[in-house]
C-alpha cells in the first residue's frame, strides 16, 4: 500500500471489509439498515469478514472509525453514510491506501481512492443529454434553483453538453420568489425579442379599422417563435416546480418545441407536485431491477429496505467479488466491465466517480413511463 492519498496497484494486504455507519445518533435506524444490507450481501460461503464500526454520525466519529478498522486489518471500507462522514473517513483511509466505497451522493467527495456510490446529478444528466442528442436536440439550457443541488446540476449539464460536442449550455439560476422565477424564465427564453415584433404588429393593426382589428385578434392567437434552446433542464420540486412550470407556459416555452428534463426525484408524485410536466424526461434506476433485493432484505430483516440500503448491498457485493478474485486493488475496483448492482450496472472510475446504467422515463398523464431501458454494460456515457 502507498500513502499520500493513492491506492497501490497491488491489492491491500487486508482481506477484511469494514462498514462505517451511524449506529448511534439521529441516523442510527438508517445506519443499522445499511449494516443489515451489507451483511445480506456477505452471507454466502467464502465471503470476507465484516467489521462493523459506528461513526456516531459525525465526521470525527467517521475518522476514528476508519482508523480503528484499518488498524484491525481492513483492506476495504464501505460507507460511511453522509458527505461529512465521508470527508472524515477519507483522511485516514487515503493515508493507509485503503479504498472507500461511500454511500453519499455528494460529487465533491469523489477523489482517487474514495468512490461516491450514491445517485449523482452527473449520472442523471449524462443519460439525459445522451438521449436528447440522439434525437438531434443539442441546444441546451437550464433554469435551476440557487442552491447546492442546482449548482451540482449546472456543473453536470456543462460537462455532459461539452462531452456531447453540444457547446456551452445557457444556465440561469433563480431565487425562491415568484418574481425571481418569472424574471429568470423570461430572460432565458428571450421572450421580449420573440413576442415584441408580434405585439408591435398587433398595435399597428388595431389602428387600421375593422380589418386591422380582426388581424390583431388573429395575431394574438398565433404562436410565436420558439425559444433559443430545444432542451431545458430543471431541478425544482414541489410547489417551486409548479411555479417554474407555470412561468414556462406563460412565456411560451412549449413542450412541443422544447424537451423538458429533470432529476430522478421526479419519480415521486410528491416531488412533481402536480406540475404540468407532460413529455418531460428524467433518468433513474429501473424500479424492477431491485425487486429481488427488496424481497431478500424484507425476508432477512423483517422490514422493507429503506433508501440507500441498495448502495450498502452493492458495496458489500463488490467486496465479496473482489475478495474472491484476489483483493481490492485500484485496478480491480476500476475494472472496465463494472459490477452488477441492485439498481443496474455500475462502474468505478479512477477519479472516484461512478458511472451507472440508468433507464429513461417520460412523464405522462398516468405517471412516469420507462421509454428506454437501462444499459446492461458499463459503456462510457451511460
Give 207's pLDDT tier (boundaries 50, 70, 90).
low
Walk me through the domains of the chain, giving residue ranges and CATH numbers.
16-119+287-351 (3.40.50.2300), 122-190+227-284 (3.40.50.2300)
Map grid coordinates 440508468 to a residue. 358
Q: What is the pLDDT of residue 362?
A: 98
Q: What does pLDDT average to over the chain? A: 90
Cα–Cα distances (Å) from 217 to 197, 209, 211, 249, in that order, read: 15, 12, 10, 20
Query: Helices 238-250 and 178-188 meet at what angle, rounded to 10?
Result: 40
Give 3's pLDDT tier (boundaries 50, 70, 90).
very low
Q: Are 61 and 28 in contact (CB under 8 A)?
A: no
Measured in Å, how far apart are the chain's first and last C-alpha atoms?
32
Q: In the 3-class helix/strand/coil scheme, how is 207-230 assigned residue by residue?
A: CCHHHHHHHHHHHHHCCCCCCCCC
Task: Say if residue 212's pLDDT is above 90.
Answer: no
Give the model confidence (pLDDT) of 87-115 as tens digits.
Answer: 999 999 999 999 999 999 999 999 999 99
Please give the average per-residue pLDDT across 204-229, as a whole number. Answer: 70
Give the model confidence (pLDDT) of 313-345 as tens digits.
Answer: 999 999 999 999 988 999 999 999 999 999 999
Q: Where are the alpha helices (DSSP H) in 207-307?
A: 209-221, 238-250, 269-272, 291-301
Give the model confidence (pLDDT) of 7-23 as tens digits.
Answer: 543 434 457 999 999 99
In 3D space, the residue among 331, 329, 275, 284 whose CA is nearest the CA of residue 310 turns out to be 284
Give the model confidence (pLDDT) of 20-70 as tens digits.
Answer: 999 999 999 999 999 999 999 999 888 999 999 999 999 999 999 999 999
Cross-strand bridge partners of residue 355: 347
Q: Are 335 and 329 in contact (CB under 8 A)?
A: no
Q: How many CB atoms lie within 10 A of CB 232?
A: 26
CA distance 165 to 316: 37
Q: Are 18 and 39 in contact (CB under 8 A)?
A: no
In 3D space, the residue among 86, 1, 11, 104 whose CA is nearest the CA of residue 319 turns out to be 11
CA distance 236 to 260: 12
CA distance 74 to 380: 31
In 3D space, the residue among 47, 26, 24, 50 whose CA is nearest the CA of residue 36 turns out to be 50
Give the model confidence (pLDDT) of 281-312 as tens digits.
Answer: 999 999 999 999 999 999 999 999 998 999 99
Cell of 125: 444528466
Please report the beta strands in the chain, taking only residues with DSSP state E, as ranges in sequence order: 16-21, 50-54, 74-78, 99-102, 114-116, 140-145, 170-174, 231-234, 259-262, 281-284, 339-341, 344-348, 354-356, 359-364, 367-372
In 3D space, the residue among 245, 193, 252 whose CA is nearest the CA of residue 222 turns out to be 252
Amino acid at each position: 500500500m502507498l500513502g499520500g492519498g493513492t491506492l497501490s496497484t497491488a491489492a491491500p494486504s487486508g482481506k477484511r471489509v469494514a462498514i462505517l455507519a451511524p449506529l448511534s445518533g439521529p441516523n442510527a435506524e438508517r445506519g443499522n439498515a445499511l449494516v443489515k444490507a451489507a451483511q445480506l450481501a456477505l452471507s454466502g460461503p467464502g465471503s470476507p469478514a465484516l467489521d462493523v464500526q459506528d461513526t456516531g454520525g459525525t465526521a470525527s466519529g467517521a475518522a476514528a472509525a476508519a482508523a480503528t478498522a484499518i488498524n484491525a486489518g481492513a483492506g476495504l471500507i464501505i460507507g460511511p453514510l453522509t458527505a461529512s462522514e465521508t470527508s472524515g473517513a477519507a483522511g485516514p483511509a487515503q493515508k493507509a491506501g485503503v479504498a472507500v466505497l461511500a454511500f453519499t451522493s455528494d460529487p465533491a467527495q469523489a477523489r482517487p481512492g474514495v468512490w461516491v456510490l450514491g445517485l449523482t446529478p452527473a449520472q442523471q444528466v449524462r443519460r439525459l443529454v445522451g438521449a436528447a442528442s440522439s434525437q438531434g436536440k443539442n441546444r441546451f439550457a437550464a433554469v435551476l434553483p440557487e442552491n447546492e443541488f442546482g449548482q451540482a446540476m449546472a456543473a453536470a449539464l456543462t460537462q455532459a453538453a461539452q462531452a456531447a460536442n453540444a457547446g456551452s449550455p445557457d444556465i440561469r439560476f433563480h431565487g425562491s420568489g415568484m418574481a425571481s422565477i418569472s424574471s429568470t424564465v423570461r430572460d432565458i427564453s428571450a421572450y421580449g425579442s420573440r413576442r415584441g415584433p408580434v405585439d408591435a404588429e398587433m398595435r399597428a393593426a388595431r389602428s387600421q379599422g375593422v380589418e386591422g382589428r380582426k388581424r390583431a385578434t388573429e395575431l394574438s392567437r398565433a404562436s410565436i417563435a420558439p425559444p433559443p434552446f430545444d432542451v431545458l433542464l430543471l431541478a425544482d420540486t414541489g410547489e417551486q416546480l409548479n411555479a417554474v412550470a407555470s412561468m414556462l407556459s406563460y412565456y411560451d416555452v412549449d413542450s412541443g418545441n422544447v424537451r423538458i428534463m429533470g432529476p430522478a426525484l421526479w419519480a415521486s408524485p410528491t416531488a412533481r407536485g402536480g406540475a404540468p410536466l407532460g413529455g418531460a424526461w428524467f433518468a433513474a434506476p429501473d424500479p424492477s431491477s431491485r425487486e429481488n433485493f427488496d424481497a431478500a432484505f424484507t425476508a432477512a430483516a423483517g422490514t422493507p429496505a429503506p433508501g440507500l440500503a441498495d448502495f450498502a448491498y452493492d458495496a458489500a457485493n463488490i467486496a465479496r467479488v473482489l475478495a474472491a478474485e484476489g483483493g481490492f486493488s485500484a485496478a480491480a475496483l476500476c475494472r472496465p466491465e463494472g459490477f452488477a448492482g441492485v439498481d443496474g450496472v455500475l462502474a468505478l472510475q479512477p477519479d472516484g466517480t461512478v458511472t451507472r446504467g440508468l433507464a429513461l422515463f417520460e412523464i405522462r398523464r398516468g405517471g412516469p413511463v420507462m421509454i428506454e431501458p437501462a444499459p446492461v454494460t458499463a459503456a462510457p456515457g451511460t
